[in-house]
């Protein structure tokens, strides 16, 4: 008789199967401390991955300032870029914005001016490319009538509602005088 243990071959008939160890026995360090260490390591890796982009997130500097041929060209350019909106900043004109696209658009406006386009043609070129949004004062049209007349319509509707409420409650009841009240 042989005192050696029977071979364990799971899935074969007649063979005994050893119980599977619990997860805590298989991974003794798998607990809250390991989870915290893993989270810290992942956050550190993410920070290190983003570090180069943070270093480059500086305000765009125009390497070569615009050169104007004469004072009239500069005044026309300044008047035009004040009327145009930066497509990235959305609440700044092209003249005020430091975004890289604003630098590019200023150069494009100057190039279009030098090609002989008048102010309206420059505006139309930018509207064709970026939409009506690029104008600080959009034109009155079918797509912008609500923008132009909506506030007046709301004021008119509010005035009508207040007038109807005052008329409905008005004239029918007078405030009784109270002799006990002292002023």
Reported as a single tens digit per residue, the pLDDT across 73-123 is 999 999 999 999 888 887 888 888 888 888 999 999 999 999 999 999 999
State residue 68 phi and psi, 5-degree precision: -105, 145
pLDDT number for residue 69: 87
Residues 53-75, mean pLDDT to the nearest whole number: 73
Length of the chain: 183
Domains of the chain: 67-158 (1.10.8.640)
Residues 122-179 pLDDT 10s: 999 999 998 888 888 777 777 777 877 889 999 999 999 999 988 887 765 666 777 7
* Distance, CA of 121 to CA of 131 (rounded, Å): 14
Exposure string for 142-154, b = 16+ CB within 10 A, e = fewer = eeeeeeeeeeeee
What's the mean pLDDT in 14-21? 59
Query: CA 124 from chain center: how many Å?
Result: 26
Q: Residue 121: which region, alpha, beta or left (left: phi > 0; alpha: psi -120 to 50)?
A: alpha
Per-residue model confidence (pLDDT) at position 182? 73
Q: pLDDT at position 27, please?
A: 56
Give Cα 56 distance to the centre of its chain: 20
Residue bearing the bigger pLDDT, 73 or 59: 73
């Amino acid at each position: 008789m042989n005192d050696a243990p029977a071979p364990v071959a799971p899935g074969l008939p007649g063979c005994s199967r050893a119980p599977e160890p619990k997860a805590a026995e298989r991974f003794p360090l798998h607990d809250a401390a390991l989870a915290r260490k893993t989270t810290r390591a992942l956050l550190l890796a993410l920070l290190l991955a983003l570090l180069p982009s943070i270093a480059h997130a500086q305000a765009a500097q125009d390497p070569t300032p615009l050169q104007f041929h004469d004072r009239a060209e500069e005044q026309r350019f300044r008047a035009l870029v004040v009327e145009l909106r930066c497509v990235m900043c959305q609440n700044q004109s092209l003249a005020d914005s430091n975004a890289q696209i604003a630098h590019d658009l200023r150069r494009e406006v100057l190039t279009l001016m030098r090609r002989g386009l008048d102010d309206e043609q420059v505006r139309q070129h930018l509207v064709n490319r970026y939409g009506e949004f690029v104008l600080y004062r959009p034109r009155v049209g079918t797509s912008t009538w609500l923008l132009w007349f909506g506030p007046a319509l709301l004021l008119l509707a509010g005035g009508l509602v207040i007038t109807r409420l005052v008329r409905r409650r008005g004239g029918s009841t007078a405030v009784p005088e109270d002799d006990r009240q002292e002023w």
